[in-house]
Amino acid sequence: MSLKPSDPVVRAFVDAVNGGDRDAFYALLAPGATMTDDGTERDLDQWVDREIFSSDGRMDVESESDGGRTLVASYTNSTWGTMRTRWHFTVDGDRIARFDTGQA
């Protein structure tokens, strides 16, 4: 059973990913939001389309720290299968300004 992150904005992010809800996902992002994958800056729109929405991405959260803003999750998509990943979120008010992900 997947843990629900205690930070409400991060929890909504996970729910949007797992629900395949692109509109809800983008509504959570602050204007100009950025991200990294394994330490490399990525084009957020291209990455999100390829790694989440076009490949049926899903997060099964295993643990959290930093008040629910850092997660370890099993991440699954139809391109790469399942891998253990780390996610860190920079939250600004009720939006995500940045997220960093990579293998855990």
Dihedral over Cα of 100, 91, 20, 58: its sign = positive
pLDDT in tens, 16-59: 999 999 999 999 999 999 999 999 999 999 999 999 999 999 99
Determine the average pLDDT of the residues in 89-97.
Answer: 98
With a cut of 90, say whether residue 78 has pLDDT above it: yes
CA 29 vs CA 46, 81, 96, 99: distances in Å? 15, 26, 5, 10
Contacts of 49 (CB under 8 A, 6+ apart): none
Residue 2: predicted pLDDT: 79
- Residue-range domains of the chain with CATH: 8-103 (3.10.450.50)
**Within 10 Å of residue 35's Cβ, how many Cβ atoms?**
20
